[in-house]
Structure 1
């Protein structure tokens, strides 16, 4: 029988692509999951075509203004690793594919949520330049800079546009790190994106937290076939290395939130209030706070029981 709700439906074939009970248990224990084939080859090729149009200057719906911490590669930035936030908003073709209900249903199964919304999306292009420093993404976990979110169930889907292996600098998980307790110190909970932090500091934080939890750092590179995606919990440490292949590594990092997520005020150690890019873009709730359910920027992918 097909899985249905009032607004969302999966075909029988798509239901077979959902995580099994054992997959959900694995995700809860290890903090990551490698999906079955969620996108057809044609859909993936459309993602790549749309990304090239975007890089060439085609924007369907420009952001109304630029938040202060927006990651936004421009041609004048040169042959560095490219990150472009809000690609689901600015590119209609990419946004339509990312809103695929199956993707949301997989996230709902893994997180135990009955609603999944987009939180953020980033188009990524890692050039085949092993000596380019920007190609290295240091160890971090996404929840560290989502301090303004109340949810503990947020997760990220990493969606490459091709077969993606170690030689391309694929995303790499630190196994079971989503279950760690953080060793609190002066560097904890900065609400700063990894790009704004020192790589060596982040490496030392990872090692210190492993020791604090009485475990070793186990790195698991995600070997992702075309059309598949990896998912990881918002507290799973991850990073990626240089692209040693002969072609660019193209992908989208799609951050997802459950329906219960909402804005919360979070005070940093220096007394300032933490902020996220949404806080400068989304509509306001009746209480005057940023609305992380704004359908313009945070559309619903799935609602119901997957």
Structure 2
């Protein structure tokens, strides 16, 4: 998408935007359940496109493999699947995931004039109740987006079906986006998959106690075609899939137009790293360009 492209919504789509009350709710609670943004037919096409992706269909492939890339392959077996950059590798998935209405909803919640994709991760949680990889520990996304300057980034969790607690739906810690954080050492810049689950549980409890609040967990019951948004500082996780069906979804991570790469020094003298840093073009001053349209296309511009 070019920087001059204009975006607009139909009157029908405008009715799907968050109200002023919804925006206030999101600011206070750190999450928001949308109206129905996808038709049933569109959701069914997401399922079909994801199956073709798992079978090996690609519109293009990443030119290099970043060091922290999540990229399930059939040889990995019946574990929870995570595949990053599906909006880049699959035109069939991108056609639906890059709908302007998703960006327009995000722009309302974030108070931003522009929304770009930051990352997209295709997720498949198999219906195996005892599979350890199905349980996602408590974390918030900004920890491993430390090389991003923005504090307004957000994520749309997009299930490909009705999604309730028995499927291991996303669960938010209510209001945690407003907590003052303590204990933010270097290790928090690592992705939750690289960290000890008990340490993450302790971090959640410690920060709740520091803020003088109880941990209130809200499992999101998401009807087909709807999606859940959460703020980049909202603690969230998910439990086991104890249903008889796989839980299929995409986590669509989004950045406001002001976001850019920043140097984030670590105690060992290195700098925080994100996979984009291996892929995107460079800015005139030599930094990774988080507005590279190949990897971070614009979803919405007011």
User: How does the TM-score come out when normalised to structure 1?
Assistant: 0.96
- Paired residues for 1:26-65 under 5 Å: 26-65=25-64
Helix, strand or coil: the match of 2:48? helix
Deviations 1:70-117 (A, max 9, x none): 000000000000000000000101011111000000000000000000
Q: Distance in 2 between matches of 1:11 and 1:171?
A: 30
Match of 1:278 in 2: 276
Q: Distance in 2 between matches of 1:15 and 1:103?
A: 11
Match of 2:156 in 1: 157
Deviation at residue 184 of structure 1 after TM alignment:
2.6
Q: Distance in 1 between matches of 2:213 and 2:124?
A: 33
**Contact persistence 2:30–2:174 (CA under 8 A):** yes
Match of 1:302 in 2: 300
Match of 2:173 in 1: 174
Structure 2 segments unaligned to the other structure (5+ residues): none
Helix, strand or coil: the match of 2:41? helix
- From 203, 216, 222, the equivalent of 2:220 is 222
Match of 1:267 in 2: 265
The count of residues paired between Structure 1 and Structure 2 equals 299
Deviation at residue 6 of structure 1 after TM alignment:
6.2
Q: Distance in 1 between matches of 2:151 and 2:135?
A: 27
- From 260, 266, 291, the equivalent of 1:293 is 291
Q: Distance in 2 between matches of 1:239 and 1:190?
A: 15
Helix, strand or coil: the match of 2:198? helix
Q: Distance in 2 between matches of 1:61 and 1:181?
A: 42
| Structure 1 stretches of 4+ moved >6 Å | none
Helix, strand or coil: the match of 1:208? helix
Deviation at residue 268 of structure 1 after TM alignment:
1.1
Deviation at residue 120 of structure 1 after TM alignment:
0.2
Match of 2:108 in 1: 109
- Paired residues for 1:87-106 under 5 Å: 87-106=86-105
Q: Distance in 2 between matches of 1:44 and 1:198?
A: 34
Q: Distance in 2 between matches of 1:118 and 1:167?
A: 29
Helix, strand or coil: the match of 1:190? helix
Helix, strand or coil: the match of 2:188? coil
**Contact persistence 1:83–1:125 (CA under 8 A):** yes
Deviation at residue 188 of structure 1 after TM alignment:
5.6
User: How does the TM-score come out when normalised to structure 2?
Assistant: 0.98
Deviations 1:18-50 (A, max 9, x none): 000000000000000000000111111111100
Match of 2:139 in 1: 140
**Contact persistence 1:145–1:189 (CA under 8 A):** no
Deviations 1:187-214 (A, max 9, x none): 4663100000000000000000000000
Deviation at residue 9 of structure 1 after TM alignment:
1.0
Match of 1:85 in 2: 84
Q: Distance in 2 between matches of 1:84 and 1:14?
A: 29
Helix, strand or coil: the match of 1:59? coil
Match of 1:252 in 2: 250
Match of 2:75 in 1: 76
Q: Distance in 1 between matches of 2:21 and 2:204?
A: 28
**Contact persistence 1:153–1:258 (CA under 8 A):** yes
Q: Distance in 2 between matches of 1:234 and 1:219?
A: 16
Match of 1:232 in 2: 230
Helix, strand or coil: the match of 2:189? coil
